[in-house]
Structure 1
Amino acid sequence: MAKNLFILNDPPYGTERSYNAARLARTLLNANEEVRVFLMGDAASCAAAGQKVPQGYYNLGDMLGGVIRRKGEISVCGTCMDARGMAEERLIEGAKRGTMDILTEWTVWADKVLVF
C-alpha cells in the first residue's frame, strides 16, 4: 500500500487542477492506497463548507468530504486560511487547520508526493 501526499495550490473553481487531484485521490483510496491532502494558497478555499455551485457542476467541498469519508486526511494551511479570512469553523467536517510542520511530516511520510 503506497502512501500518497497531494499538495493542492489552485482554487476550487476556475481551473480543473484541484478537481482532478480530488478525483485521483478518491480513486487511489478506492484502490486501498493511503492518501493525505494538504491545501495551500488559493486551494484553501477547496475545503470551505457550504459551497453552492450550479446544478450539474462539481463541488470541491463534497469531493474532499468523500476523501475524508474514505479515511483520507485533509489539512489546510493555517497561514493561507488567515490570509483569506477563513476560520477553522468554515472548513468541511474532518478537515483540519495545518502548519508547515504538518506538511513537512506528511512529506517525509509519503512514498509519492503529487503537486497540483
Structure 2
Amino acid sequence: MKGLFIVNDPPYGTERVYNALRLAHALVKKDPSMQVTVFLMADAVLAGKANQKTPDGYYNVERMLKRVLSSHGAVLLCGTCMDARGIGDAELIQGARRSTMDELAGATIEADKVLIF
C-alpha cells in the first residue's frame, strides 16, 4: 500500500506535523511493506531543514523525518515554498529533496491513501 501525507503547517507551534509523522511511523511499524511519502509544503518545508535543535524532552521533527527515510519512505519539499522561505537544497535533511507540484500530482494519483495535515 502507498500512503501520501501532505503537510502544510509549520513544524513547531502546532502539532500537525508531529501527528502526521507519528501516524506515518505507526503505519510503517504496523505494515513494513507500506510505502510512505511525506510532501512538505507551505510552512511545513521548514521541517525539512537539517540540524534542528530542540529543548530536551521536546519532539524533534528532523529526527521524525529521518525515521520515515530510514523505513524507505520519501520526504519531498515543495520547491516554490522553499524558495519563498529562502531555503536552499544544501540546507535539507540528507535524503529529503526539492520537488514539484507535478510530482505531487503523480504521487497523489499513485497513492492508495492521501492524508492532509
TM-score by length of 1: 0.97
Q: Could you say which residue in structure 2 is the equivalent of 1:49? A: 50
Aligned-partner Cα distance in 2 for 1:101–1:29: 25
Cα pair 1:74 1:96 within 8 Å, conserved: yes
How many residues get paired? Answer: 115
Aligned-partner Cα distance in 1 for 2:28–2:72: 8
Deviation at 1:29, TM superposition (A): 1.4
Q: Could you say which residue in structure 2 is the equivalent of 1:64? A: 65
Cα pair 1:4 1:35 within 8 Å, conserved: yes
Matches within 5 A, 1:1-80: 2-30=1-29, 31-32=31-32, 33-80=34-81
Q: Could you say which residue in structure 1 is the equivalent of 2:99? A: 98
Aligned-partner Cα distance in 2 for 1:60–1:52: 10
The share of aligned pairs that are identical, in percent, is 56
Letter in 2 for 1:100: M
Deviation string for 1:29-52 (max 9, x for gaps)? Answer: 122211101000000001110001
Cα pair 1:6 1:21 within 8 Å, conserved: yes
Moved more, 52-61 or 24-33: 24-33
Aligned-partner Cα distance in 2 for 1:52–1:11: 15
Deviation string for 1:64-107 (max 9, x for gaps)? Answer: 01100110001000000000000011110100101001101100
Helix, strand or coil for the counterpart of 2:54? coil
RMSD over aligned Cα, in angstroms?
A: 0.6
Cα pair 1:9 1:41 within 8 Å, conserved: yes
Helix, strand or coil for the counterpart of 1:74? strand
Segments of structure 2 that go 5 or more residues without pairing to the other structure are none
